[in-house]
Amino acid sequence: MKKFTHALIACKAVERLKMISLSDQNRPFAEYLINWFADHKDGVIRGAWYPDSLIADNSTSHIYKHSLAIGDDVRAYGNTPTSTYALPSTSMEYDIGRACIAFERPCSINKGNNLPERCEALSHAVIDNLRIRESEPKGSPLTPSDNHVALLLFMLSHYVADAHMPMHCDARDDEFPGFNIHAAAEEMWEREVVRFYKIDRSNQRFLYNESGFPLLVEDDCYADSVLKAMDEELDHRPFRIGYGDGNDNVREFMLAVSYFSWLTCCAWLPLDADAHTIDRDKLQTPAGLPFQEVSVAILADAIDAVARVWLHDLRRYCWWEEAERSR
């Protein structure tokens, strides 16, 4: 995904938490995050792009590439069959993946890919820095700033979103003869974000609506866009706080996301697809799922996943803070 797409996903994740119904137990944690974001949202475009623009660990930490296993070449998740892994029931990629012909077939992972571990590490870094901020005496040079923690959250959103991009999880070559379908897909999403949302490019920030979230441009073409379909999907989709059965932490959640993201790629671009049958305008093959449907699944699931991970992190920190104060 490209710069403005990543930033919009992060903004939409917070907007999602503001709009959904949450229990009285969980609403305070969401409000904590919403208020935090309001004070730091102008940094989301730059912060969510640092993993690409500066850190540039794209060949290892942005990907978790699967392929059908040959012989004994199988790397199972935690020595557990992939069929035991699940995602929240509302995930479109979960539904797509379970209907895919490659579902539950043995698979292997490219050596050196570590996206789930990168997400887990950043998730811990967010919580650790919040704890240090709370524990250090006033004026301490060791105290992380609020801006620093916000940057970690924005960076974390980048890696979480990348796990939902099917071609980040499929070991097949991104490029077909003379055509990079991976780049074309991400460019299409980016064009829509830039066209349909107001962006102050000179200051690298969105312009905001009355609720404090990215402002839509008045454009008749929005009605037929992927972003409109994504919003409609999220409007009627209930929010699930949990990571899915069997997933107890961010790493396990991202392992499952990456697996079903690969399966989504197989459904979109079937394993036996002839590269010459790809429709370069529609970005799909005759036997594969429509790119519009796949796009909605990717973007909506990514938004929910970022909201879910951020909410879990802030919830864990607040629980720790409450326990410390009661000691």
Q: Give me 191's structure tokens.
A: 């064009």
Residues of the chain with pLDDT under 70: 70-84, 176-177
Q: Give me 2's structure tokens.
A: 């490209």
Name residue 308's amino acid.
R
Burial-class residue 283 by CB neighbours within 10 Å (0-12, 13-18, 19+): buried
Tens digit of each residue's pLDDT (9 = 90 or more) over 191-221: 999 999 999 999 999 999 999 999 999 999 9
Predicted local confidence at residue 40, as pLDDT: 95
Mean pLDDT of the chain: 91
Q: Distance between CA atoms of 79 and 83, rounded to whole angstroms?
A: 12
Predicted local confidence at residue 78, as pLDDT: 38
Q: Distance between CA atoms of 59 and 73, rounded to whole angstroms?
A: 21
276 membership: H or E segment, kind and range:
none
Whether residue 260 contacts residue 96, with contact meaning beta carbons closer than 8 Å, is answered with yes
Is 204 strand, coil or helix? coil
Please state, as a whole number, how many other Cβ atoms lie within 10 Å of the Cβ of residue 122. 22
Domains and CATH numbers, the chain: 3-325 (1.10.575.10)
Q: Distance between CA atoms of 212 and 208, rounded to whole angstroms?
A: 5
Q: Give me 287's structure tokens.
A: 């036997």
Tens digit of each residue's pLDDT (9 = 90 or more) over 21-61: 999 999 999 999 999 999 999 999 999 999 999 999 999 99
